[in-house]
């Protein structure tokens, strides 16, 4: 018990000493994850004014915040999460599990036949610390996000998702390559070096 408390204390200290956590507070972003999307955006220019973006697993709203700023007044961001999320200007939020029919229908009603340019997902399961449990869970979430993207993306649309390297990673890459013209891996500086997380950016949805 003492060891667990010590580990938690260490994590909290690392978190609050983190340069991206402090920067997010200074610059008014909802989470350090904002800087991951901002770095990918700077490199790959995936979000442009006027786009329609769907953000899965959006709470607390960091990625939605960045996306809404980038799409501007003529664009749209539709966000969804099981957890509640405080409102954001330019973001339509639907709370619930997007794999459930009622929630999916609500998302589709908000999209309202708008061509979706990009689906983004920074989802991760609650980590147990046991890779044989955590890895399948994380892969399952990515599979769900890909399935959603296939249903809403317009031809040549894009998909960006967090993935943890490990068992199932290569088959997932192959699956994305079957549905998109190009798939690349990104590891933003804001992603902790020891973390197995990477981001897969798929362009050119084949429809």
Instruction: Please indicate if the annotation marks 204 as binding a ligand.
Output: no
pLDDT at 17 over 70: no
State pLDDT tens for residues 33-49: 999 999 999 999 999 99
Residue 60's alpha-carbon distances to 28, 85, 133, 178, 193, in angstroms, are 13, 6, 25, 32, 23
122 is in an annotated binding site: yes
User: Does the annotation list 92 as a binding residue?
Assistant: no
Q: What is the pLDDT of residue 11?
A: 40
Name the active-site residue from 162, 177, 187, 206.
162
pLDDT at 2: 47
Separation CA 118–CA 51 (nearest Å): 8
Give pLDDT tens digits for 109-157. 999 988 999 999 998 867 666 777 778 788 999 999 999 999 999 999 9
Contact 104, 90 (CB under 8 A): no
Q: Is 162 noted as a catalytic residue in this protein?
A: yes
Which CATH number fits the domain 32-205, given the four candidates 3.90.550.10, 3.40.309.10, 3.40.50.150, 3.30.430.20?
Answer: 3.40.50.150
| 97 known ligand binder | yes
Q: Locate the domains of the chain by residue range.
A: 32-205
- Contact predicate 91/77, CB 8 Å: yes
Distance separating alpha carbons of residues 204 and 103, to the nearest angstrom:
27
């Amino acid at each position: 018990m003492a060891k667990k408390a010590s580990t938690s204390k260490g994590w909290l200290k690392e978190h609050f000493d983190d340069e991206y956590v402090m920067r997010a507070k200074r610059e008014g972003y909802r989470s350090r994850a904002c800087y991951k999307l901002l770095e990918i955006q700077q490199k790959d220019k995936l979000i442009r004014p006027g786009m329609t973006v769907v953000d899965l697993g959006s709470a607390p709203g960091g990625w939605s915040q960045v996306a809404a700023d980038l799409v501007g007044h003529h664009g749209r961001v539709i966000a969804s999460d099981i957890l509640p999320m405080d409102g954001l200007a330019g973001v339509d939020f639907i709370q619930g599990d997007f794999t459930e029919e009622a929630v999916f229908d609500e998302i589709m009603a908000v999209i309202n036949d708008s061509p979706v340019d990009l689906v983004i997902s920074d989802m991760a399961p609650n980590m147990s610390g046991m890779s044989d449990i955590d890895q399948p869970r994380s892969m399952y979430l990515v599979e769900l996000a890909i399935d959603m993207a296939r249903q809403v993306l317009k031809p040549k649309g894009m998909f960006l998702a967090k993935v943890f390297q490990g068992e199932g990673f290569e088959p997932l890459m192959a699956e994305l390559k079957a549905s998109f013209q190009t798939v690349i891996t990104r590891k933003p500086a804001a992603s902790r070096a020891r973390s197995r997380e990477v981001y897969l950016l798929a362009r050119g949805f084949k429809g």
